[in-house]
Amino acid sequence: MKYKATFVGRARNAIGIFYPITDTVEAETEKEAFEKLGETYEINGNFKLTRPKTLIFEGAGWEETKKQFPDIGNCRIRTRLVNDEGTVIYLEIMGREKQMREDGPEKPAFVQHCYSRDCNEVSEWRKHEGKPQPKFSYTAGNLIEWVNRSLRCSFSDLLVVNDGSVRVHATKNPLF
């Protein structure tokens, strides 16, 4: 399990002041995570350990597009997520291989569907539908940034499942 740690400390065996540090660590338990960080850092205070939130998508397009979109692994993905305000949102987005405009991004992202659970036609999320996103290339980093900014979320990781084990339409619940 991956943990994110924030604390005041310094590199082990360093001499000098302590400063704010943010790092990630792989460990089975919180205790093990603290111990692993203690091998690298001298921890002086304000220790906080959290698990990063992973945005999970179902691969809904052609998996062979891994070559064009290597860090996402599919040309069309969809999810049902919960934003930081507790709103459940369905999102389906695709990547295009070619620029749509000369001044647009390479391999632009295109939001096909974006709405809250009640499918309200006047939902604020609908404003993103059917539009290429300006200056938004279809990459994992850009996708996380866009979702966090536009849908008011706080995800740190992205996972696209292409093997059929994750099915958005087989449940009414968000994907976790």
Boundaries of domain holding 21 = 2-50
Q: What proportion of the chain, given as a percentage, has pLDDT over 70? A: 79
| Same domain membership, residue 46 and residue 7 | yes
Q: Is residue 21 part of a domain?
A: yes
- Please determine, for residue 94, whether its predicted confidence score (pLDDT) is greater than 70: yes
Clarify whether residues 162 and 79 are in a common domain: yes
- 71 and 145, same domain (yes or no): yes
Are residues 101 and 143 both part of a single domain? yes
pLDDT number for residue 78: 92
CA dist list (Å): 108 to 1, 100, 142, 165: 32, 7, 10, 27
Given pLDDT bands bounded at 50, 70 and 90, which one contains residue 150?
A: confident
On whether residue 62 sits in a domain, the answer given is yes
Q: Is residue 176 part of a domain?
A: no
Please give the model's pTM, rounded to 2 decimal places.
Answer: 0.66
Q: Which amino acid is at 85?
A: E
Query: With 90 as the cut, is the pLDDT of residue 18 above it?
Result: yes
Cα–Cα nearest to 55, from 158, 160, 175, 161: 158
- Do 135 and 161 lie in one domain? The reply is yes
In angstroms, rounded to a whole number, what is the distance separating the alpha carbons of residues 126 and 124? 5
Q: Is the C-alpha dihedral spanning 161, 165, 168, 174 positive or negative?
A: negative
Cα–Cα distance measured from residue 83 to residue 144, given in angstroms and rounded to the nearest whole number: 12
For residues 63 and 141, membership in a common domain is answered with yes
Which of the 8 DSSP states describes residue 18? -
The total domain count for the chain is 2
Question: Is 154 in a helix, a strand, or coil?
Answer: coil
Angstrom distance (rounded) from CA 175 to CA 81: 6
Residues 146 and 86 in one domain: yes
Q: What is the mean pLDDT of residues 136-163?
A: 88
In a domain, 175, yes or no: no
Q: How confident is the model at residue 39 (pLDDT cuts 50, 70, 90)?
A: very high
The two structure tokens encoding residue 126: 């609908």
The pLDDT tens digits for 62-92 are 766 666 677 888 888 999 998 888 888 889 9
Residues 59, 137: one domain? yes
Mean pLDDT of the chain: 81
Q: Pairing relation of β-strands 157-161 and 54-59? A: parallel
- Mean pLDDT value of segment 137-142: 86
pLDDT over 70 (residue 12): yes
Q: Which residue has the higher pLDDT, 117 or 123?
A: 117
- Asked if 34 and 120 sit in the same domain, the reply is no
